[in-house]
A and B are shown apart, each in its own frame.
Chain A
Amino acid sequence: MSKPKVAFFDFACCEGCQLQVANIGEPLLDVLDIVQVVEFREVMSEKWDGEFDVAFVEGSITDEHAVQRVKRIRERSKILVALGSCATIGGVNGMKNSFQLEEVGKYVYGESYKFFPTIHTKAVHQVVKVDYFINGCPIYQPEFLTVLKCILQGIPYYVPEYPVCVECKLNENVCMYDRGLTCMGPVTKAGCNSWCINNGNICYGCRGLTINPNTEGFKEVLKKYNIPEDFLMKKIEMYNKCKELDKS
């Protein structure tokens, strides 16, 4: 049996999630024993023009050229994986969607903005079908390896639908709300082992909103701590602005 052919592609992103993969370190050699990485532009010059068994796509889709490119990648791939927040939910690039596109272009590039045609930021699944989602800004390496194992065994991977709070409680962190702060943990998908809160920061919601968040309960929490709803909406927008484009 030949090794599955794996490739990495990037769109509008910081390439940090691919770097997280390169950063796995020596265990990476074990991974390279069972798969054949045929394309990974950030660290390899090799190119491949055949079919991919698994294509990891990092970044969000922000122009027509990218739409065409990701469609071509989809056509050539048996399995397509959205890697990291930009790909899974649009990520910080989604904040652009709060503005008029032309105004954004002019603000950054002045009159040469026409050289940078841009469309509303989209997550990858809003353009092509996605088979696996690896959330996070950046991705959490243990989760990446778990998903990779699922892919290679041909079984689905279910992103946890319970909130970050569940993991946070297990990690015995003091609740940010008790510290007088607003944290996105209660409405954000778990799976990162409450990485940011373990390090004394709040959750920014980078893994995306839970499918069925307890909105009413959360409103009560906000009321209890006297936090205005629009303040929270702004926080949600940091990563989750593209959700508005989901056809549900």
Chain B
Amino acid sequence: MSQNININVNYLTRVEGHGNIVVEVKDGKLEICRLEIVESPRFFEAFLRGRSIYEAPHITSRICGICACGHTLASIQAAEDALGIKPSEQTTLLRKLLLHYEHLDSHLLHIYLLVAPDLVGVPSFVPLIKTHPDVVRRALKMKRLCNELCDILVGRHVHPISTVVGGFTKLPRVNDLEEMHKRLLELQKDMEATVELFSKLTFPDFERDTEYVALVNDGDEYPLLYGDIGSTDGYRVSKYEYKNVTNEFIVPYATAKRTRWHRDSYAVGALARFNLNHEKLHPKAKQAANVLNLKPKCINPYFNTVAQIVECVHCVEDAIRIVETVWQNGINYDEIVVPDINELGKLPQRAGEGVGAVEVPRGLLIHHYECDERGIFRNANCVIPTNQNTHNIELDMLKLVPEIINKSQKEITLALEMLVRAYDPCISCSVHMVEVNFK
């Protein structure tokens, strides 16, 4: 029995951004257990003021390099909502395609490079180059394929170029569709190998029941780009009521805001989406869930990574469907939009307020904008998935530590690091807690 434990993980590794884990056990009693966010804030919401709402996707993309396309899409949705722009069917399809690429790219980075080393007990993917060269090669190849898909569709993955308010500044040509199709078929094969590989690996055994929150819809599509906000506790509200979901509150030892809805905390992300929308997954993804032993309602947070693998299978299949649909319909190049801050006045300008709610790799992302009649920012507010998970992670840690308190400090530290990593936290994003009172 460890009577005294002091864990101080400064700058948690293999996560995006800077966070610390602090645990103190005194005389066998857990006294402190918290996840601290120590990223330098950049004050995005403050310096958006005075900029054109048409610049929002370009600027907010820079909140995060890993979820750049997700921020861009949420930003576009909020801006178009404020300006009263309705995207065309073609634009919506291509945005859904981009969101699939975003999920694939981010999930694969997390699954292979950030989580897998823990499952085989090494500090990073570097030692795996020698021990599992085929796996490392496959991981890097899949990453490259995802990047190439984004390059073809929007110019690049980190800070997409051609996806803007109103649509796309460049549309794929037929040979681009062909190239994307070819790469997706390759990814399809690689996903089979990925499912096979992870079915042999063991994830830690730990459970804590919580409320899972994700976008939901009435259709049969797995909701990622549009939907209402739903919960596994049976609630559903429109995206405009997001503040009634997040109920941000402050804990005395951390400056970052936390969120809770019907319980002490809730979780967002791949596992939340799976728990709420598993029936809408592509049949192949359902099959993968079976093979990987993932069943709804799964309450083991370590299985978030498994849910990501299942989502990757779904995203590849649905991306193939979209590319084929666009190919068959033919692309209407008249829809190409002129970029920049609407100097040509091709798009409407008006005073307004808009909300974008998009499921990005780490969960529900909200952008909320308000602009004046010239389309200049008055206020901006972003609610980031990682912030919504922070309190849930801490409550998980509180339940986990007593269960493993007889292990060595090193083992406890690793278990906690793995727990935080499972949520795939994105800390660069999460320092954007904002206090804006929209009137």
* Known contacts A16-B158, A26-B141, A199-B154; A96 and B433 CB within 8 A of each other: no
Taken together as a complex, chains A and B put the C-alpha atoms of A15 and B61 apart, in Å, by: 12
Closest residue of chain B to A17, judged by CB? Answer: B65
Identify which of B94-102, B118-126, B258-266 touches chain A. Answer: B118-126
Assess whether A42 is interfacial by the CB under 8 Å rule.
yes
* Known contacts A15-B66, A16-B66, A25-B144; A45 and B124 CB within 8 A of each other: yes
> Hey, which chain B residues are within 8 Å of A155, CB to CB?
none
Instruction: Write out, one digit per residue, whether chain B residues 19-56 have a CB within 8 A of any chain A CB (1) or not (0).
Output: 00000000000000000000111110111011100010
Taken together as a complex, chains A and B put the C-alpha atoms of A112 and B156 apart, in Å, by: 37
Max count, chain A CB within 10 A of own CB: residue among B64, B140, B170: B140
* Known contacts A13-B428, A25-B147, A41-B11; A19 and B43 CB within 8 A of each other: no
Closest residue of chain A to B343, judged by CB? Answer: A181
Taken together as a complex, chains A and B put the C-alpha atoms of A180 and B345 apart, in Å, by: 11
B67: min CB distance to chain A, Å:
9
B401: min CB distance to chain A, Å:
21
> Hey, which chain B residues are within 8 Å of A25, CB to CB?
140-141, 143-144, 147
User: Per a CB cutoff under 8 Å, which of A16, A65, A116 touches B65?
Assistant: A16
Contact between A99 and B46 (Cβ–Cβ < 8 Å)? yes
Assess whether B183 is interfacial by the CB under 8 Å rule.
no
A109: min CB distance to chain B, Å:
7
Contact between A26 and B140 (Cβ–Cβ < 8 Å)? yes
Max count, chain A CB within 10 A of own CB: residue among B43, B66, B109: B43
Contact between A43 and B114 (Cβ–Cβ < 8 Å)? yes
> Hey, which chain A residues are within 8 Å of B434, CB to CB?
108
Closest residue of chain A to B145, judged by CB? Answer: A25
> Hey, which chain B residues are within 8 Å of A12, CB to CB?
39-42
Taken together as a complex, chains A and B put the C-alpha atoms of A201 and B164 apart, in Å, by: 9
Taken together as a complex, chains A and B put the C-alpha atoms of A92 and B340 apart, in Å, by: 16
* Known contacts A63-B40, A96-B46, A196-B155; A16 and B64 CB within 8 A of each other: yes
> Hey, which chain A residues are within 8 Å of B292, CB to CB?
none
* Known contacts A45-B117, A201-B164; A37 and B158 CB within 8 A of each other: no
> Hey, which chain B residues are within 8 Å of A41, CB to CB?
11, 13-14
Contact between A199 and B255 (Cβ–Cβ < 8 Å)? no
Assess whether B161 is interfacial by the CB under 8 Å rule.
yes
Q: Which of A97-121 contact B (CB under 8 A)?
A: 98-99, 103-105, 107-110, 112, 115-116, 118
Contact between B435 and A109 (Cβ–Cβ < 8 Å)? yes
Taken together as a complex, chains A and B put the C-alpha atoms of A112 and B255 apart, in Å, by: 7
A96: min CB distance to chain B, Å:
5
Taken together as a complex, chains A and B put the C-alpha atoms of A137 and B144 apart, in Å, by: 19
Taken together as a complex, chains A and B put the C-alpha atoms of A42 and B435 apart, in Å, by: 29
Taken together as a complex, chains A and B put the C-alpha atoms of A29 and B156 apart, in Å, by: 22
Contact between B129 and A37 (Cβ–Cβ < 8 Å)? no
Contact between A26 and B339 (Cβ–Cβ < 8 Å)? no
Contact between B123 and A26 (Cβ–Cβ < 8 Å)? no
Contact between B66 and A19 (Cβ–Cβ < 8 Å)? yes
A12: min CB distance to chain B, Å:
4
Instruction: Write out, one digit per residue, whether chain A residues 54-79 have a CB within 8 A of any chain B CB (1) or not (0).
Output: 00000000110110000000000000
Taken together as a complex, chains A and B put the C-alpha atoms of A58 and B154 apart, in Å, by: 24
Assess whether B216 is interfacial by the CB under 8 Å rule.
no
Assess whether B59 is interfacial by the CB under 8 Å rule.
yes
Taken together as a complex, chains A and B put the C-alpha atoms of A96 and B117 apart, in Å, by: 38
Query: Range of interface residues on chain B?
Result: 35 or more
B341: min CB distance to chain A, Å:
9
> Hey, which chain A residues are within 8 Å of B340, CB to CB?
181-182, 201-202
Q: Which of B204-253 contact A (CB under 8 A)?
A: 250
Contact between B42 and A62 (Cβ–Cβ < 8 Å)? yes
Max count, chain A CB within 10 A of own CB: residue among B14, B45, B47: B47
Contact between A46 and B124 (Cβ–Cβ < 8 Å)? yes
> Hey, which chain A residues are within 8 Å of B113, CB to CB?
22, 43
Contact between B13 and A14 (Cβ–Cβ < 8 Å)? no
> Hey, which chain A residues are within 8 Å of B338, CB to CB?
179-181
Q: Which of B246-285 contact A (CB under 8 A)?
A: 250, 255
Taken together as a complex, chains A and B put the C-alpha atoms of A16 and B154 apart, in Å, by: 16
* Known contacts A43-B125, A202-B340; A91 and B40 CB within 8 A of each other: no
Contact between B40 and A181 (Cβ–Cβ < 8 Å)? no
Contact between A29 and B140 (Cβ–Cβ < 8 Å)? yes
> Hey, which chain A residues are within 8 Å of B144, CB to CB?
23, 25-26
B102: min CB distance to chain A, Å:
13
Assess whether A11 is interfacial by the CB under 8 Å rule.
yes
* Known contacts A12-B42, A45-B13, A180-B344; A95 and B162 CB within 8 A of each other: no
Q: Which of B282-298 contact A (CB under 8 A)?
A: none
* Known contacts A16-B65, A112-B255; A104 and B344 CB within 8 A of each other: no
Assess whether B169 is interfacial by the CB under 8 Å rule.
yes
Assess whether A162 is interfacial by the CB under 8 Å rule.
no
Q: Which of B318-359 contact A (CB under 8 A)?
A: 336, 338-340, 343-344
Taken together as a complex, chains A and B put the C-alpha atoms of A106 and B433 apart, in Å, by: 12
> Hey, which chain A residues are within 8 Å of B59, CB to CB?
92, 238
> Hey, which chain B residues are within 8 Å of A181, CB to CB?
338-340, 343-344
Assess whether A233 is interfacial by the CB under 8 Å rule.
no
Closest residue of chain A to B162, judged by CB? Answer: A199
12 A-B pairs (CB sep. < 8 Å): A12-B42, A14-B65, A19-B66, A23-B143, A41-B14, A46-B124, A96-B47, A107-B45, A118-B40, A118-B41, A181-B344, A196-B155
- Beyond contacts A46-B123, A238-B51: 11 other A-B pairs, Cβ-Cβ < 8 A, are A16-B62, A29-B129, A43-B125, A96-B43, A116-B255, A137-B159, A181-B343, A195-B155, A196-B161, A201-B340, A234-B51
Identify the B interface with A (CB < 8 A): 11, 13-17, 39-43, 45-47, 49-51, 55, 58-59, 62-66, 68, 109, 113-114, 117, 123-126, 129, 136-137, 140-141, 143-144, 147, 154-159, 161-162, 164, 168-170, 250, 255, 336, 338-340, 343-344, 428, 432-436
Closest 3 CB pairs of A and B: A16-B65, A200-B169, A25-B144
